Amino acid sequence: MLKDIFPVSIDTVVGETAKIKVDGYRFVTISCTARDENTLEILYHFDKELRLKHLRLTVLKDTAVPSISAVYFAAFLVENEIQDLFGIHFEGLAIDYDRTLYLDEEVTFAPFCKYTVMKSLNEVDPSTPESGAMGKSKEL
Amino acid sequence: MLKTVIPFGPQHPVLPEPIHLTLTVEDEIITEAFPALGYIHRGLEKLVEIRDVHQMIQVVERVCGICSMIHAMCYCQGIEDIMGVEVPPRAEFLRVIWSEIHRMHSHLLWLGLFADSFGFESLFMQFWKIREKILDIDEATTGNRIIVSVNDIGGVRRDMNSEQLQWMRVELAEVETELKELGKTLLGDYTVKKRTVGKGVITKTQAYELGLAGPTLRASGVAQDMRMLGYAAFNQLAFEPVVETEGDCYSRSKIRFRELLQSIDLIRQAVAKIPPGEIKAKVRGRPDGETVSRVEQPRGELLYYIKANGTKNLDRLRIRTPTFANIPALLSMLPGMWLSDVPVIVLSIDPCISCTER
């Protein structure tokens, strides 16, 4: 089971990450989970001599989260992935793909948010530019 | 000097899978590299919403064909950790044997492709010829060459009898002899060295700070290998990670070559020590809780974050594959190199884009 998890907030996540880097930890990855309709949980994983340490950040869906890519450059890729799949906006990304790492530009919904449902094809209004089979989504 | 932007990929003769690089060059020297993904993103992690905990074994095996066994082992170990399942010792040894067989056929595949990337076709052919013997072992012991489907929550689905184990030892002895002969060319040939030594160098500090994984990390002098965690039966075998210090393409190929011989040694140890007994524990109930499971894939550290909620479906399955960790290194490896070195350097991280995008 998961051990060594430390809660952080939006204000402290970058500072805590910087401390972890000073302590000699290697960046491993970030995991994002949709907790409920409005909340997402972001877990930052770090490793030092095969021992993992995790920071847990709970945020509202529409909140912008500061990027840790200024501390660990390698984080830019996974932060872009989360931006694509969960629709979170990361501020200050070292390289920002603007939600096109995996997705096409016209996709506006977050495919990994399980509380998001797509409109079926017959609900799509072809007159609106954002619409399309992959276009608009409807929040539950 | 005039800057030119050159698109490399997603379709390129040297790339086994699609990745795009936007290369900025001055004359023929690269000044900047920018990767782009998204050509084969399948969203496999989201299938946890409709596939149950047991069905997901088949899904994770298909994240990557080349290391299907190790993906399934990582997933099963995670679920076993959450549920507190004790895997029978024989199953742990069988997992070691099959995972090392998978590492071997993956490294042999890569060594062939790597030789192809600098135009050494006969070396490519010889490595793939040896690989066939490894795939024959897979087929004889599991019924399949690539997607072996041997893992289950609580153990493994298949056993090996003593004849099979001894036959495997004989086959591996032949493979070892052939490999050592081929190693003289891979590690000593003038052409190979000319194309790989000093190319795409990553220092030890860079490798650590970029969070690299596997042979790419160890070639820069960092002695980190998830097998040191002692998962499955690795804690009962003599194991030291293979490390090189130069951090260039040559070191990365040397690491993989030495790991082939190390895998043979680990299989021999496992065959000698494998205990009799059950191969699968009974599993009751449904998982509830969260865990991180880590194993060493051929390309490096594989991480599964699993969150279960007591129902038949998981809440979240997050897979971080080693290529995902190694892609940022390309941004440091490529600047300053010749355009003609790009295929060799890109191949040197053993990119698996199916794994990366899932």
CATH number of the domain bearing residue B159: 1.10.645.10
Higher pLDDT, A139 or B93: B93
Task: Return the residue of B nearest to A40 by Cα.
Answer: B316
User: Which position has the token pair 């770090």?
Assistant: A46
- By C-alpha distance, which of B242, B162, B245 is closest to B203? B245
User: Would residue B293 count as lying in a domain?
Assistant: yes
Q: Residues 306 to 335 of B: which have CB under 8 A from any A CB? A: 307, 315-316, 318, 320, 324-325, 327-328
Classify residue B88 as left (phi > 0), alpha (psi -120 to 50) or beta: beta
Backbone angles phi, psi at A138, to 5 degrees: -125, 125
Name the minimum distance, in Å, from the CA of A26 to any CA of chain B.
6
**Quick one: what percent of chain B has pLDDT higher than 70?**
100
User: Would residue B15 count as lying in a domain?
Assistant: no
Backbone angles phi, psi at B284, to 5 degrees: -120, 150
Q: Given an 8 Å threshold on Cβ–Cβ distance, is A74 in contact with B289? A: no
Contacts of residue A20 in chain B, CB cutoff 8 Å? Answer: none
**What burial class does residue B14 get, using C-beta atoms within 10 Å of its C-beta: 0-12 exposed, 13-18 middle, 19+ buried?**
middle
What pLDDT, on the 0 to 100 scale, is given for residue A36?
A: 82
Q: Given an 8 Å threshold on Cβ–Cβ distance, is B328 in contact with A102? A: no
**Quick one: what percent of chain A has pLDDT higher than 90?**
46
Between CA B59 and CA B43 the distance in angstroms is: 11
Please check whether residue B288 touches A, CB under 8 A: no
Task: Return the residue of B nearest to A103 by Cα.
Answer: B38
C-alpha distances in Å from residue B346, one per residue of B21, B94, B335: 10, 34, 12
| Chain segment B226-271, per-residue pLDDT in tens | 999 999 999 999 999 999 999 999 999 999 999 999 999 999 999 9
Instruction: Give how many domains chain B has, as a whole number.
Output: 1
What pLDDT, on the 0 to 100 scale, is given for residue A138?
A: 38
- Average pLDDT (B33-53) is 88
What pLDDT, on the 0 to 100 scale, is given for residue A95?
A: 87
- Average pLDDT (B313-319) is 92
Cα torsion angle, B67, B42, B306, A27, sign = positive
Between CA B111 and CA A44 the distance in angstroms is: 34
User: Would residue B301 count as lying in a domain?
Assistant: yes
Of A33-42, B103-112, B175-184, B224-233, the least confident: A33-42
User: Would residue B170 count as lying in a domain?
Assistant: yes
Name the minimum distance, in Å, from the CA of A130 to any CA of chain B.
21
Cα torsion angle, B188, B193, B195, B196, sign = positive
DSSP string, A76-130: HHHHHHHHHHH-PEEET-SS---S-SSS-TT--S-TT-TTEEEPPGGG--TTSTT
What pLDDT, on the 0 to 100 scale, is given for residue A53?
A: 94
Identify the domain containing residue B206 by its residue range.
Answer: 42-325+340-357
Q: What's the pLDDT band for B36 if we cut at 50, 70, 90? A: confident
| Chain segment B324-345, per-residue pLDDT in tens | 999 988 888 999 999 889 989 9
> Are A44 and A98 within 8 A, CB to CB?
no
User: Would residue B55 count as lying in a domain?
Assistant: yes
**Does residue B119 register a pLDDT over 70?**
yes
Higher pLDDT, A4 or A67: A67
Contacts of residue B305 in chain A, CB cutoff 8 Å? Answer: 31, 43, 45
Q: Given an 8 Å threshold on Cβ–Cβ distance, is B325 in contact with A74? A: yes
User: Would residue B36 count as lying in a domain?
Assistant: no
- Average pLDDT (B140-168) is 92
> Are A137 and A119 within 8 A, CB to CB?
yes
Q: What's the pLDDT band for A140 if we cut at 50, 70, 90? A: very low
Cis amide leading into B322 (omega within 30): no
Contacts of residue B209 in chain A, CB cutoff 8 Å? Answer: 26, 72-74
User: Would residue B193 count as lying in a domain?
Assistant: yes
β strands within chain B, DSSP E: 3-8, 20-26, 29-36, 151-152, 155-156, 288-297, 300-309, 314-320
| Chain segment A81-130, per-residue pLDDT in tens | 999 888 888 999 988 888 888 887 787 777 777 665 444 444 445 454 44
- Average pLDDT (A20-43) is 91
Check if the interface score ipTM surpasses 0.90: no
**What burial class does residue B196 get, using C-beta atoms within 10 Å of its C-beta: 0-12 exposed, 13-18 middle, 19+ buried?**
buried
The per-residue pLDDT of chain B, averaged, comes to 91
| Chain segment B73-86, per-residue pLDDT in tens | 999 999 999 999 99
> Are B96 and B233 within 8 A, CB to CB?
yes
Q: Give chain A's domains with CATH numbers.
A: 5-103 (3.30.460.80)
Mutation choice for B interface testing from A1, A26, A42, A58 by most B CBs within 10 A: A26
Q: Given an 8 Å threshold on Cβ–Cβ distance, is A77 in contact with B324? A: yes
Structure tokens at A100: 């096109």
User: Would residue B330 count as lying in a domain?
Assistant: no
**Quick one: what percent of chain B has pLDDT higher than 90?**
70
